[in-house]
Structure 1
Amino acid sequence: MKVDLHIHTTFSDGRLTPAEVVKISHEMGLRAIAITDHDTVEGIPYAIEESRKYKNIEVIPGIEINTYYSDQEVHILGYFIEYNNVELKKKLSDLLQKRIERTRKITEKLIQLGINITFEEIKSRAQGPSIGRPHVARALIDKGYANSIEDAFDKFLNPGRPAYVPRYKITPFDAVDIIKLSNGIPVLAHPGLLGKKQIINELIDYGIMGIEVYHKDHNMEQVKYYMNIASEKKLLMTGGSDSHGETPLLLGTLDIPREFVLELKYEKNKCCM
């Protein structure tokens, strides 16, 4: 059974709608997928609704929360979250407002640089409520100020570049709390991308329940390394493509063991109901 437990949609910085993700996943023979948009759960109901058209695909409600620790970005995934939880939605609404404020400030800096761009033009690139630098980058490409997402970030949006605005920062520990608040299972995303590894042990001590072992940016040596950590620390293992609807499409390209989904379900039923 093919599964993919890390997928983004147009409700954050992906290019495919939730319905398109489900349809393509079904066509590829995936049996379980997790919608893990950045800091929002608004796309989940659309994915679940689309999945009802098919017999053999399960949509796992998830999220990926962006956090900072010791001046590095750390992402925390949440699985089987109760996405209609009132407290969760309040926390995410606060994060969304901070994202919007940041994007407005980026827009102001770009205008000061002589770039002909408006916040409304940037917002139109986001089909969902969440908005961020990737949408700014796409607007810059469309208006001829950059050749690619990477070019836009290199020229304007990365730290040290003229339109950079620091993100509102919450900690990985805050994210673990937010996910547990909604009776979800918190998992450390793509640990191989972390520069400072001490956060892994700190999160384990704090109560994170899993670690993303398979990821598009993990080589096999890293996969084995994080599997060993998970086994030693009795953590759940997950994996996913981290697909954003790019070309060529990454969705469903990793060989993720079906057992990961079964173990997530078992843990959800044991601890988080």
Structure 2
Amino acid sequence: MGNIDMHVHTRASDGILSPNEIVDWAKKLGLMGIAITDHDTVEGIEDAIEASKEYSDFFVIPGIELSAIYNDVEIHVLGYFIDFKNKEIIKITDQIKNHRIQRAKLIVEKLIKIGYEITFTEVCDIAKAGAVGRPHIAKVLLRKGYVSSIQEAFEKLLIKGQDAYVERFKLTMDEAINVIENANGIPVLAHPRLIDSKISIEDVLKKGIKGIEVYHTRHSYLHSQIYLKLAQKYNLFITGGSDYHDEMINDKPTIGSVSVPYHTIISMKNK
């Protein structure tokens, strides 16, 4: 049996490839399936599922990655096997999308006031049909030569405490987990290695999380072993994925650079 990349982003949020392109590349790269887990949106799922029908031995898991706040720290919660047509999840993701747009407009307004020549139209051109966000604003600033890197744009202007920062829409951990479960999904803690070290991972897992992303591109072997033990201790589902957004190696996307066996995900679905 083949493997499944359980953490993939499309152009519907902040990826660079369309859902169709993601599916075609994943198949070419030898995967048996992928989970579409765009940030705070379900808009790419249906297109990916339709594209997967071209192949008899490939499938798409409908998912999402929700941003939540826990003890003033941002934590991401993955939702798997969600009903992406669920009214509640559509309502909350539409609300987040609308707030993203307003937030981006406010950031652009702040940048203009402090002397940067930038327009919201330029930001939308970068984002294309995807959700507008700070990375797209950073790319415009980079393209215009105001900064030398995306990271510099964030550190100089776009993070909390800097001149162009605007607060984001926040779900609590409980809200994020409830949204996923009400859409018949499985809430899974995303990339625990990336969570602020002042947060106890075990305390987060006790909030109602049903799985943990043990394997991730930013996890060392040692970290994966730690999270594997936690999964076993709390009887959690074990997942893993590339968290693919835009990285290319030899003109090929790095989809599937981290993946998990097909049979483990099927058993997860069956349970």
| Length-normalised TM-score, structure 1 | 0.92
How far apart, in 2, do the equivalents of 1:112 and 1:250 lie? Answer: 39
Aligned to 1:251: 255
Once structures 1 and 2 are overlaid, which stretch shifts more, 115-124 or 154-163? Answer: 154-163
How far apart, in 2, do the equivalents of 1:257 and 1:147 lie? Answer: 40
Aligned to 1:145: 146
* Structural mapping, 1:56-75, within 5 Å: 56-75=57-76
How far apart, in 1, do the equivalents of 2:124 and 2:170 lie? Answer: 22
Amino acid in structure 1 at the alignment position of 2:13:
S
Aligned to 1:83: 84
How far apart, in 2, do the equivalents of 1:158 and 1:103 lie? Answer: 13
Output one character per residue of 1:21-49: Cα deviation in whole Å (capped at 9) or x when no partner. Answer: 11110100110100100000001111111
Aligned to 1:260: 264
Equivalent residues of 1:11, 1:126 under 8 A apart: no
Equivalent residues of 2:36, 2:61 under 8 A apart: yes
Equivalent residues of 1:186, 1:208 under 8 A apart: yes
1:225 maps onto 2:223 in alignment: no
Taking every aligned residue pair, what percent have the same amino acid on both sides?
45
Amino acid in structure 1 at the alignment position of 2:186:
I
How far apart, in 1, do the equivalents of 2:21 and 2:119 lie? Answer: 29
Shift in CA distance, 133/245, structure 1 to aligned 2, threshold 3 Å: same
Output one character per residue of 1:98-146: Cα deviation in whole Å (capped at 9) or x when no partner. Answer: 2112111111111112111111211222233521111111222222223
Kindly state the Cα deviation for residue 203 of structure 1 after the two structures are TM-superposed.
3.7
Equivalent residues of 2:189, 2:213 under 8 A apart: yes
Aligned to 1:100: 101
1:202 maps onto 2:206 in alignment: no
Shift in CA distance, 49/240, structure 1 to aligned 2, threshold 3 Å: same
Equivalent residues of 1:190, 1:212 under 8 A apart: yes
| Length-normalised TM-score, structure 2 | 0.93
1:111 maps onto 2:115 in alignment: no
Kindly state the Cα deviation for residue 56 of structure 1 after the two structures are TM-superposed.
1.9
Aligned pair count reads 267
5+ residue gaps in structure 1? Answer: 268-273
5+ residue gaps in structure 2? Answer: none
How far apart, in 2, do the equivalents of 1:152 and 1:246 lie? Answer: 19
Output one character per residue of 1:241-265: Cα deviation in whole Å (capped at 9) or x when no partner. Answer: 0010223333111242333312321
1:174 maps onto 2:178 in alignment: no
1:126 maps onto 2:130 in alignment: no
Aligned to 2:18: 17
Equivalent residues of 1:62, 1:81 under 8 A apart: yes
- Per the alignment, in what secondary structure is the counterpart of residue 152 of structure 2? helix
- Per the alignment, in what secondary structure is the counterpart of residue 206 of structure 2? helix
How far apart, in 1, do the equivalents of 2:213 and 2:198 lie? Answer: 14
Once structures 1 and 2 are overlaid, which stretch shifts more, 255-264 or 28-37? Answer: 255-264
How far apart, in 1, do the equivalents of 2:198 and 2:210 lie? Answer: 17
Equivalent residues of 2:211, 2:239 under 8 A apart: yes
Equivalent residues of 2:68, 2:74 under 8 A apart: yes
Kindly state the Cα deviation for residue 197 of structure 1 after the two structures are TM-superposed.
6.0
How far apart, in 1, do the equivalents of 2:181 and 2:259 lie? Answer: 28
* Structural mapping, 1:48-63, within 5 Å: 48-63=49-64
Amino acid in structure 1 at the alignment position of 2:122:
E
How far apart, in 1, do the equivalents of 2:145 and 2:98 lie? Answer: 28
